[in-house]
Amino acid sequence: MIEYIQGRIAELTPTYVVIDCGGIGYLLNITLVTFTALENKANTKLLVHEVIREDAHQLYGFIDERERSLFRLLIGVSGVGANTARMLLSSIPAPELETTIVNGDHRHLKNVKGIGTKTAERIIVDLRDKIKPSADTLINQSAATSDVFDEALLALVMLGFTRQQSQKALKKIFETDPTVKVESAIKKALAMM
């Protein structure tokens, strides 16, 4: 098994990265979160998950252990393949996805392309007890499920800020004032970034 690959980034797209390691180019499928973390970097070290089948040998790369662990849990759910798990992690960052599963919010999962009601419910039933919410997951449960939070996040992403950067700013704002309105949250977040 390959644990990680470290080397020069030879090619980077939103769906994959080619890492030149010792003169060999490894193609790793990645999430948008990992893509964002790799932008403007010349070298990287990615954690790897291998999928070996009769017709293919695929590598999936992750920027941190939390994302890789969640990916492995997701592909263990019946009906969720590697591409579906990658789509979930690209649409909903790992901490928010953990919160969504722990809270049993199948509607939030259904917003992801390719996830229907049955699959969303199966993910929640299979993984709710396997995910140990971390401190930041517990702190941000109410903020992550808030309509105001989601609306402000969408607006910031549409303005060109990264999802991670926007979430970080909004979480700080919601921790200090959970009753903040959308416009106010956006203005405060813009001042922080």
Q: Is the pTM of this model over 0.85?
A: no
Q: Tell me the two tokens of residue 155.
A: 């607006």
Band the pLDDT of 142: cuts 50, 70, 90.
low
Band the pLDDT of 137: cuts 50, 70, 90.
low
Per the model's pLDDT, the better-predicted residue between 175 and 20 turns out to be 20
Element (H, E) at 44: strand 43-52
In the chain, what are the domains?
4-62 (2.40.50.140), 65-134 (1.10.150.20), 146-192 (1.10.8.10)
Per the model's pLDDT, the better-predicted residue between 25 and 135 turns out to be 25
Q: Quick one: what percent of the chain has pLDDT higher than 90? A: 49
Q: What is the pLDDT of residue 146?
A: 64
Band the pLDDT of 191: cuts 50, 70, 90.
confident
Cα-only R_g, the chain: 18
Dist CA 159 CA 157 (whole Å): 5
pLDDT reading at 123 higher than 50: yes
Mean of per-residue pLDDT scores for the chain: 87
| Dihedral of alpha carbons 74, 78, 82, 86, sign | negative
Band the pLDDT of 45: cuts 50, 70, 90.
very high
CA distances from 60 to 101, 139, 148, 178 (A): 22, 30, 34, 37
Per the model's pLDDT, the better-predicted residue between 165 and 58 turns out to be 58
3-state secondary structure of 58: strand
pLDDT digits (tens, 9 = 90+) for 86-110: 999 999 888 888 888 888 888 888 8
Q: Tell me the two tokens of residue 37.
A: 């973390």
The one-character DSSP state at 40 is T
Which among 65, 57, 143 has a CA at the least distance from the CA of 100? 143
pLDDT reading at 28 higher than 80: yes
3-state secondary structure of 169: helix
What's the angle, vertex CA 165, arms to CA 7 and CA 61, rounded to 5? 30
Dist CA 51 CA 58 (whole Å): 5
